[in-house]
Amino acid sequence: MFFYYLDLAWRSIKKTPFLSLLMVLAISIGIGITITTLNVYQLMSENPAGDRSDNLIAVQLWSQDKDAWKEFNAQLTYQDAYNLRKSDVPTRQTAMFVTGLAVQTEDPDFVPLLESVRVTDSDFFNMFSVPFIYGKAWDKSVDTEAVYQVVINEALNQQLFAGEDSIGKTLYLDSKPYQIVGVTKTWSPSPLYYDITTGAFKDSAQIFVPFSLAPIEEFQSWGNNQSWKRQSINSYSERLSSEMHWIQYWVEVQDDTQRDEYAQWLKRYVEQQQLLGRFDSPEAAAKLSNVEQWLEINEVVPEDNKILVGLSGLFLLVCLVNMLGLLLAKFLKRAPEVGVRRAIGASRAQIFFQHMVEVGLIGFGGGLLGLLWAWGSLSMLSAHFDLEDALTQLDLTMWVLAPTIAIAAALIAGVYPAWRICSTNPSVHLKSQ
Amino acid sequence: MLSMKNISKVFQTDLVETHALRDFNLEVQEGEFVAVTGPSGSGKTTFLNIAGLLEGFTHGDYFLDGVNISNLNDNKSATIRNEKIGFIFQGFNLIPDLNLAENVEVPLRYRGFNAAERKRRVQHALEQVGLAARMKHLPSQLSGGQQQRVAIARALAGEPRFLLADEPTGNLDSMMARQVMELLENINKAGTTIIMVTHDAELARRAQRNIQIVDGQVCDFTMYQGGARQQGMGTKADKPHLVTDADKPSDESEQAQTEQAAS
């Protein structure tokens, strides 16, 4: 009977094209706006670490004196990062920050590029599951014994070497020769959870160099630099030993036991630092957060966005109320036909189901049109408001979610009109036809 | 076949209580052709709606084909309407968007027949009313008489035990009306019980039995009116009166009268 009802629904829609179009438009606008906000919300709140979320841990230290900041800073000082790297408790760990370097090849005609570069440890690539197309990360020994090696990404490799295997080739960064040891596949988690200090929705860096080179090459930080203490910093070495927070620090643990063990290690580290005169605060402590907690702590999804999703839901509700009125008018006009159907053997349930199928079909149409609205809205947002690309892509799940929400919403709106039409007394209409 | 005992139907509003039927008693045997007449507002249509399970009733008992109708749920009622009852309306009540075949097919769809069986029954029903060649036409492309024949085909397609016809010739000219009446008579001869509400005394006379409803009650109950009148037996029919048990014929006399009517 479903296909019979579908056929009847299609005939009914064709019979009243204007009214049907109005209903499709009503629901599509509501769906379009809802899907647009939901899409942005979903992309913002997605946990890109997936099932590794609990294994990847961001490290924070309350290293400031009392009467300074009243919260954990998202980054560490260089000296703390340097010390933490000595721990052998975590399976993997990395300190990192972002800098900017001029990129040059051996080709004298190549116009140098200024690119952001992530300064990190070799574990970074395994920890964050960075895929490689050529080579691999530099050796772990490079993390302690600095070597001029570099990992670049696929796009830069395409630009500089026409996509060829560039392992072993030389790349000049700020005029220093670096040997290419790895080329990563296009990879840019969204949100860029391992460094949200300058915005969680920017693209991943194209170039990665060893953290151990930082004190040698004196890489400048292109990220956030925050200090709770007024200090005069006149040289790079003063910066490294300062209380400035500018290093992101992540560790990988296998389970809760290892995490607890690392927490204990950090506790002892804090106590040790207190003995040395640092961490002069009763609240001095270490804090570990998995990826999900990290995204929440840093409010990657702003409260405004949640409110916007709520408002768009209310707008959808208004559209549905509008649709309900139109459906009621459409269905009740059909009461004589329903009377005939009831007289010749249709039960109330069958009439109800017939009309719900029609409502579902209208909802489906509204969902598809709503997707177009959403796609248009996101394109417009992208073009006019300079939003990050990651936020203005229509997520694949939305292609399923939009029709589903539209059909479900339309069915909810259609319950009352369908119930009214199936509850009418058929005999009244049989005589009056 | 159909048995109504002390049926009453009251329509109630805040101010007015209207008795559409009161202590309504009727027995219809299988194979009968019963004409129901009466003035406007007497309760004919209410009776037909109750008989066709389109409306409930306030008091009384109604048995259809041995089934007590009083407490049936909507699904059961719909099934009985679909399987046992065929409806013919004054306004034809064809669905304008569906062609003739699709109109006739509607009750078969609800009955759950497969496509082949539906097709066979639709073909047969339309052949019975002489419209098989026009099954792809829309109702609007037919005359009133033809539309009514399609409505009859729709009623027949499900092979119902009895037909309820509400002024089936009310919207037709006399020639068309005669054709439709002949069709109904043929259907009745084939064994289908027919109850027909009509204002047309001429048509009513062609039925085997006449019932007159006045003020919601069966007022005049003339058995096999045509045959009786021909033989001058219809003295009571000349003076309308409420039906009493004494008026009801016994099975033996009924049988005798049937034979007379048949002859």
**Residues of B whose CB is below 8 A from A4:** 109
Task: Please enumerate in sequence order all residues whose Cβ is within 8 A of that of A101, keeping only pairs 6 or more positions apart, or say none.
Answer: A114, A115, A117, A173, A174, A207, A209, A219
Per-residue pLDDT averaged across A205-220, rounded?
Answer: 94
Q: Note the ipTM here.
A: 0.80
Residue A177 confidence (pLDDT): 95
Tens-digit pLDDT profile for residues A43-96: 777 777 778 889 999 999 999 988 888 899 999 999 999 999 999 999 999 999
Residue B220 confidence (pLDDT): 56
Residue A192 confidence (pLDDT): 83
**Residues of B whose CB is below 8 A from A337:** 95
Residue A117 confidence (pLDDT): 95
Residue A417, both tokens: 């009109």
Using CA coordinates, name the residue in chain A closest to B50: A427
% residues pLDDT > 70 (chain A): 96
Task: Check B95 against A340: CB less than 8 A apart.
Answer: yes
Confidence of residue B175 (pLDDT cuts 50, 70, 90): confident
A343 touches B: beta carbon within 8 Å: yes
Taking a C-beta distance cutoff of 8 angstroms, is the pair A320, A27 a contact? Answer: yes
Per-residue pLDDT averaged across A149-154, rounded?
Answer: 95
pLDDT higher than 90, residue A388:
no
Tens-digit pLDDT profile for residues A308-332: 888 888 988 998 899 899 999 999 9
CA B248 to chain A, closest CA, distance in angstroms equals 31
Residue A53 confidence (pLDDT): 85
A54 φ, ψ to 5°?
-80, -15
What domains does chain B contain, in order, with CATH numbers?
2-262 (3.40.50.300)
pLDDT higher than 50, residue B259:
no
Q: Dihedral of CA A352/A355/A360/A363: which sign?
A: negative
Residue B254 confidence (pLDDT): 42
The mean of the pLDDT values for chain A is 89
Confidence of residue B222 (pLDDT cuts 50, 70, 90): low
Task: Check A350 against B78: CB less than 8 A apart.
Answer: yes
Tens-digit pLDDT profile for residues B126-150: 998 888 889 899 999 998 888 988 9
Residue A296 confidence (pLDDT): 84
What span, in angstroms and rounded, lies between the C-alpha atoms of B169 and B202? 12
Q: Dihedral of CA B244/B250/B255/B260: which sign?
A: negative
A341 touches B: beta carbon within 8 Å: yes
pLDDT higher than 50, residue A280:
yes
pLDDT higher than 90, residue A106:
no
Question: Considering only A130-134, A245-249, B255-259, which range has the smallest mean pLDDT?
Answer: B255-259
Per-residue pLDDT averaged across A186-213, rounded?
Answer: 84
pLDDT higher than 60, residue B239:
no
Confidence of residue B199 (pLDDT cuts 50, 70, 90): confident
Given A336, A345, A426, which is nearest B110 (Cβ)?
A: A345
Question: Considering only A106-110, A161-165, A388-392, B187-191, which range has the smallest mean pLDDT?
Answer: A388-392
Residue A389 confidence (pLDDT): 64
What span, in angstroms and rounded, lies between the C-alpha atoms of A134 and A152? 10
Confidence of residue A360 (pLDDT cuts 50, 70, 90): very high
pLDDT higher than 50, residue B233:
no
pLDDT higher than 80, residue A303:
no
Confidence of residue B106 (pLDDT cuts 50, 70, 90): very high
Domain chopping of chain A, boundaries = 2-47+302-432, 63-284
Residue B256 confidence (pLDDT): 39
Per-residue pLDDT averaged across A194-219, rounded?
Answer: 87
What span, in angstroms and rounded, lies between the C-alpha atoms of A156 and A141? 26
Surface-to-core class of residue A423, CB atoms within 10 Å of its CB (0-12 exposed, 13-18 middle, 19+ buried): exposed
Residue A432 confidence (pLDDT): 52
Q: Is A205 helix (H, G, I), strand (E, B) or coil?
A: coil
Residue A375's CB is within 10 A of a number of other CB atoms, namely: 20
Per-residue pLDDT averaged across B185-193, rounded?
Answer: 89
Residue B135 confidence (pLDDT): 87
Task: Check A339 against B93: CB less than 8 A apart.
Answer: yes
Given A11, A15, A344, which is nearest B82 (Cβ)?
A: A344
Residue B221 confidence (pLDDT): 53
